[in-house]
Chains A and B, each alone.
Chain A
């Protein structure tokens, strides 16, 4: 069965690329465009991995990350934070709050896909 990837980002232009890449890689994909939607989608869709943007309306990526980590049903979900915030303290904050990887924008699409594959063991 195909692994599930949830994309949480409010910017349509990056969502288009991410969605395309994840589908090409053979994953089942769902998209959320703000923090609250992302949490709801996580509960119904039960993704194996979340590509999480930091700066989103409603709830930011840090808050979503924390909530996901507190939900026992989602204990195994992998979280990859994607952000234009590239300072060391911001990266450290994401990792502290429970992200499995922190990718700063801009990124190499090939590396991102490789990383997602690796984390999902496919």
Chain B
């Protein structure tokens, strides 16, 4: 039936048109002519005319329909298909149909889509590969950093830490490691002026095109130790322009011990030269007198002879004392490292073969032994033993054996022949090493002592040998185990997105919230009124950097309020007087908290309350919090002005934040941090994106007018 529609519709149109035309003509005819016309259009004629007209119209309808089917409709389908390809389904292809010209367009559209898809997947593959390379590189870098024994901190020009390793956190992070963290200011750890001076110097070297610009300084660390810091620039290279400084790498080493040892050594050297000069002066003067004045009285002669003897004895004593002290200094300076036992044996063998000149061999060597030793002094000790064996017993070859017994390693030096006598062993253990003109203040005994080890000699009947056994401490954690741990804890160690942070000339207020570093904190107090003597008893804080809540970088401390706690407040926070006994006072805790918060924006729920407690302590502690403050209570009121309550619980529930550990300072800080992160996108919908906008909007809310 449907196929006929295209014929019937035009036929009906013709019929209607002809009918209307006939009616109009009929009504226009003068009445006298109507009978003639009626006669001319007999029913038969009209029927024939109509049938002819209808047949023609049907033919035209069919033809038009056929043309439309082969052109317009396929073109429309192609258009729809291409829209699909462009938007939701890139895999869709149009079916070529209709007139050859239209079918060709369809084929070409498909080919274009194929080419586009190939290009796209090619680009995606390349991006994927590049990203994987980058990720692998980042991981390698992070693994390398965390494995480094030296402490490394990378900062941007504002001093924000972008990367650090575990060693840096241990060395500079303060008692709880919290001073070093991503986005934290390095100036909280090392003196700002000294670092800026070093960067100035690097800038000058860059300007003068010095090949490898760097700077060094020694500064006090956070706990009073002496740190030697090497600063190297991080440069952005671009074609045709001089490299631009975008940040710097700090290599930090604790030199407290070596500086002290150096000073002690200097002092020893000075006192040795001075006492030596004085004694020699006395001896020389006396001798010259005896030689020059041969005729002096016998009692004078006796006096000068006695002086010579006396001074010589004093000088020997002094030298002995200095030698003892010197070996103490050397002892304090020695460096223990973790190394494979096998490698230590290899070092000792090479040394014995080159310095002592006798061949060495291996018995059983346990390859899994890791030692914690100063390899140089142990190798020196073994070489010394070998040289005594060669000189005193004419031993021509020594062998090594390495095994484990309990928590210690046994390193044996074997030789074919008689075991040592007790006297010989005693002498060898207590004589300072002296190897081929290479004197050392050390003895085998103090090398073993400083390792917490032991040594003894024994006979090995099956091997028809004797041996001297060194018992040495095993490394508690072999390097491989440490490696896994380091990788597991890697993710918070770097955040290269911080490199993209804007230079400091851009005003803080104009920066987007999503880009800033925040310290979200909460305090617990003895009561609600600081001016009536209520005190802080706990501070908890956590950091947000680049939109991430870094739970690993938290601050938590109880504070001894030095006053009584009311029962009502104990009910709120659950902190009892016993828990506070012996805790640090606010004078200790507040400066630490200030360092933790340095260079960040403060966030708290109902911040006015906490800030008031902090402000009350300004005079007593000298700590001022001058950074901007945001209040989640006010921000929530800005984001949801029609809600009645903005308590932390209510907001958390509304925003779907799980509440854990409420009414501990750190627990509340974590909840507040989560709430804050969820408020940021809500505020953005209202066009509030920057710190300045957030602060301005906060000030306008009703809640901001309530003061404490």
A-side residues, CB < 8 A to B, are 11, 13-14, 16-18, 20-21, 24, 55, 82, 84-86, 104-110
Q: Please determine whether B289 and A106 come into contact, CB atoms closer than 8 angstroms.
A: no
Q: Which of B275, B280, B303 contacts A16 (CB 8 A)?
A: B303
Instruction: Knowing A13-B282, A13-B307, A16-B307 are in contact, say whether A110-B277 is a contact too (CB < 8 A).
Output: no
- List the A side residues contacting B281 at CB < 8 Å: 14, 82, 84, 105-107
Give Cα distance in the complex from A21 to B293, angstroms: 9
Give Cα distance in the complex from A104 to B265, angstroms: 23
Main secondary structure of the interface of B (DSSP, over half): helix
Give Cα distance in the complex from A17 to B284, angstroms: 10
Q: Please determine whether A13 and B311 come into contact, CB atoms closer than 8 angstroms.
A: yes
Nearest-Cβ distance from residue A113 to partner chain B, whole angstroms: 9
| 21 contacts across the A-B interface (CB closer than 8 A) | A13-B286, A13-B311, A14-B282, A16-B286, A16-B304, A17-B304, A18-B285, A20-B289, A20-B304, A21-B289, A84-B274, A84-B275, A84-B277, A84-B278, A86-B277, A105-B278, A105-B281, A106-B281, A108-B284, A109-B284, A109-B288
Residue with the highest number of chain A CB atoms closer than 10 Å, among B281, B293, B300, B307: B281
Nearest-Cβ distance from residue B278 to partner chain A, whole angstroms: 4
- List the A side residues contacting B311 at CB < 8 Å: 13
Nearest-Cβ distance from residue A42 to partner chain B, whole angstroms: 23
Instruction: Knowing A109-B285, A109-B289 are in contact, say whether A17-B278 is a contact too (CB < 8 A).
Output: no
Give Cα distance in the complex from A48 to B288, angstroms: 25
Residue of A nearest to B282 (CB): A13
Give Cα distance in the complex from A105 to B671, angstroms: 76
Does B283 have its Cβ within 8 Å of any Cβ on chain A? yes
Does B578 have its Cβ within 8 Å of any Cβ on chain A? no
- List the B side residues contacting A109 at CB < 8 Å: 284-285, 288-289, 292
Q: Please determine whether A11 and B273 come into contact, CB atoms closer than 8 angstroms.
A: no
Give Cα distance in the complex from A116 to B285, angstroms: 15
- List the A side residues contacting B307 at CB < 8 Å: 13, 16-17
Q: Which of B255-290 contact A (CB under 8 A)?
A: 273-278, 280-286, 288-289
Does B310 have its Cβ within 8 Å of any Cβ on chain A? yes
- List the A side residues contacting B284 at CB < 8 Å: 106-109
Residue with the highest number of chain A CB atoms closer than 10 Å, among B288, B304, B307, B311: B288
Q: Please determine whether A11 and B303 come into contact, CB atoms closer than 8 angstroms.
A: no
Known: A13-B286, A16-B307. 9 other contacts (CB 8 A): A11-B278, A11-B282, A13-B307, A17-B285, A24-B293, A84-B277, A86-B277, A105-B277, A106-B281
- List the A side residues contacting B273 at CB < 8 Å: 84, 86
Give Cα distance in the complex from A17 to B273, angstroms: 21
- List the A side residues contacting B296 at CB < 8 Å: 20
Q: Please determine whether A106 and B280 come into contact, CB atoms closer than 8 angstroms.
A: yes
Interface string of B301-330 (1 = CB under 8 A from A): 001100100110000000000000000000
Give Cα distance in the complex from A21 to B281, angstroms: 14
- List the B side residues contacting A24 at CB < 8 Å: 293
- List the A side residues contacting B310 at CB < 8 Å: 13
- List the B side residues contacting A82 at CB < 8 Å: 281
Q: Which of B12-34 contact A (CB under 8 A)?
A: none
Give Cα distance in the complex from A44 to B284, angstroms: 32
